[in-house]
C-alpha cells in the first residue's frame, strides 16, 4: 500500500517500508531516536544520511540541553545549503517535538519531514505543526507552530512497536472519535471483537489523522480557541503525566475519564451517552485510577497550563455527546473540588 493524501499543504504518505527513494541525500539531516538502531532496515537507511542520534524522552526536550544540541547540529551541517536544508525526524513524540522546534528556528527555519515511529506520534503529535521544548518541571512551555512538509507513515515500523505503545495511542484515537465521530460510528467501531490493536489503529489512522487536520485547519495557531477542543482529556492528563510519571497516552486516557465524569456531573452529558462511552473504555481495560496526588503540585501545574486565562482559571473541554464539545473557563479551585468528588486523594 502506498498512497498520498494532501491535507492543506501537508503530504501524508502511507507506505510499508522505509526506503531510500523517499528523498535525496544532499542537505538532509536525519535526527533520530537511537533506539531505532535495533532495527536493521532503519539503521541501514539512516547510515546513508548525515545523521544525529538522540535519546528519546522528555529529557531531550529540556531547554538546558538546547544550546548543546544546536552546536552539534551546526557542526554537522556546516557545509549544507541553508535554502535547501531538510530535517528528517524519525522517532516518537519527543523526537518530533524537539526536531520540529529545531527545524523552526535553525537559520530561521529549514524544511521538516516527520517519520513517526510510535503509534501515538503517528496518530497525533506528528500532525498539526506543534513543536516544543520543556522548562522542567513544566512541559512544552517553549515552542512554535511549524508545519512539516511531509509526514511519512511506515506500517512496518509501527507494527514493530511493543503492545504498550498501541495501548498508549488508544486514548488519542478514542478522543478523536468522541470529538469528531457520531454515536453510530462509535457503536460500529467497537462492535467487532478486538483481536489486534495494531490492526485496529492502522485501519483507523487515515480517518483519525484527517479528522485532526479538519480541526487544526480552522485554527492553526490556536488563536480562536477552536483548536483547543483537541485538549479534551489533556488538562488533568498533563497533571497526572507529570505527578504520576505516566506515559502521555495513558495519562490522556485518565484525563478523558475525568472530563467525561465531570461532563455528566454538570448535566452536560446524558447518563446514556456516558454509559455508551464507558462500556467501550471498560472493554479496552481503561479504568480510572484514583491514587494520592499533591494538591500544591496539581494547582501549580494547572496555573502554568497554556490554557491558563489568568485569575486562576483555565479553559476546560467538556463533552456533551459525540462530536459536541463545550469549552468553558473553570476556576482551578473548582477543578480541584471535582477531583476530590471523583475520589482523588490529595496530600
Give bridge partners of residue 13 from the DSSP assignment: 4, 152
- For residue 40, count CB atoms less than 10 angstroms from its CB and return exposed for 0-12, middle for 13-18, buried for 19 or more: exposed
Q: Which three cell numbers stand for residue 13?
A: 504518505
Between 212 and 251, how does the x/- string for binding to its own copies read (CB under 8 A)? ---------xx--x--------------------------
How is residue 317 written as a grid cell? 473541554
In order of 71, 102, 161, 169, 228, the CA distances from 174 in angstroms are 40, 31, 19, 9, 17
Q: Which residues inside 118-157 make contact with its own copies, applying CB under 8 A?
A: 130, 132, 135, 138, 141-145
* Residue 25 within binding range of its own copies, rule CB under 8 A: no
Minimal distance, residue 76 CB to its own copies, in Å: 13
Cβ atoms of 52 and 76 within 8 Å: the answer is: yes
* Beta carbons within 10 angstroms of residue 86's beta carbon: 20
| Of residues 209 and 314, the one with the C-beta less far from its own copies | 314
Least Å distance, CB 293 to its own copies, is 21
Given candidates 49, 52, 80, 167, which one binds its own copies under the rule CB under 8 A?
Answer: 80
Residues 6+ apart with CB under 8 A from 330: 313, 314, 315, 316
| Shortest spacing between CB 36 and its own copies, in angstroms | 27
- 297 contributes a contact to its own copies by CB under 8 A: no
Size of the site for its own copies (CB under 8 A): 43
Residues facing residue 300 across a β-bridge: none
- Residue 212 Cβ, how far from its own copies at the closest point, in Å? 17
Interaction site with its own copies (CB under 8 A): 26-27, 63-64, 66-67, 70-71, 74, 78-84, 101, 104-109, 130, 132, 135, 138, 141-145, 221-222, 225, 303-304, 306-311
Amino acid at each position: 500500500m502506498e498512497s498520498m493524501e494532501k491535507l492543506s499543504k501537508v503530504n501524508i504518505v502511507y507506505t510499508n517500508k522505509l526506503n531510500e527513494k523517499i528523498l535525496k541525500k544532499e542537505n538532509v539531516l536525519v535526527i533520530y531516536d537511537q533506539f531505532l538502531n535495533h532495527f536493521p532496515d532503519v539503521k541501514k537507511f539512516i547510515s546513508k544520511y548525515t545523521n544525529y542520534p538522540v535519546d528519546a524522552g522528555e529529557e531531550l526536550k529540556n531547554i538546558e540541553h538546547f544550546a548543546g544540541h544546536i552546536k552539534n547540529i551546526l557542526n554537522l551541517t556546516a557545509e549544507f545549503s541553508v535554502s535547501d536544508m531538510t530535517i528528517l525526524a524519525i522517532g516518537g513524540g519527543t523526537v518530533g517535538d524537539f526536531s520540529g522546534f529545531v527545524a523552526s528556528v535553525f537559520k530561521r527555519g529549514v524544511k521538516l519531514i516527520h517519520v513517526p515511529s510510535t503509534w501515538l506520534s503517528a496518530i497525533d503529535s506528528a500532525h498539526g505543526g506543534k513543536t516544543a521544548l520543556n522548562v522542567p518541571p513544566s512541559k512544552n512551555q517553549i515552542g512554535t507552530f511549524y508545519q512539516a512538509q511531509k509526514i511519512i507513515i511506515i506500517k512496518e515500523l509501527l507494527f514493530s512497536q511493543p503492545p504498550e505503545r498501541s495501548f498508549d495511542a488508544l486514548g488519542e484515537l478514542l478522543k478523536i472519535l468522541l470529538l469528531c465521530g457520531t454515536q453510530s460510528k462509535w457503536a460500529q467501531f467497537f462492535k467487532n471483537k478486538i483481536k489486534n490493536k495494531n490492526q485496529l489503529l492502522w485501519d483507523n489512522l487515515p480517518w483519525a489523522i484527517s479528522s485532526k487536520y479538519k480541526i487544526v485547519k480552522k485554527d492553526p495557531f490556536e488563536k480562536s480557541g477552536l483548536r483547543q477542543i483537541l485538549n479534551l482529556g489533556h488538562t488533568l492528563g498533563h497533571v497526572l503525566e507529570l505527578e504520576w510519571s505516566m506515559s502521555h497516552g495513558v495519562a490522556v486516557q485518565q484525563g478523558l475519564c475525568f472530563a467525561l465524569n465531570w461532563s455528566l456531573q454538570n448535566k452536560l452529558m446524558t447518563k446514556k451517552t456516558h454509559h455508551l462511552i464507558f462500556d467501550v473504555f471498560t472493554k479496552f481495560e481503561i479504568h480510572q485510577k484514583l491514587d494520592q496526588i499533591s494538591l500544591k503540585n496539581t494547582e501549580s501545574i494547572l496555573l502554568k497550563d497554556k490554557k491558563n486565562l489568568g485569575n486562576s482559571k483555565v479553559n476546560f473541554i467538556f463533552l456533551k455527546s459525540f462530536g459536541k464539545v463545550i469549552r468553558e473557563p473553570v476556576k482551578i479551585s473548582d477543578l480541584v473540588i471535582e477531583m476530590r468528588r471523583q475520589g482523588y486523594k490529595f496530600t
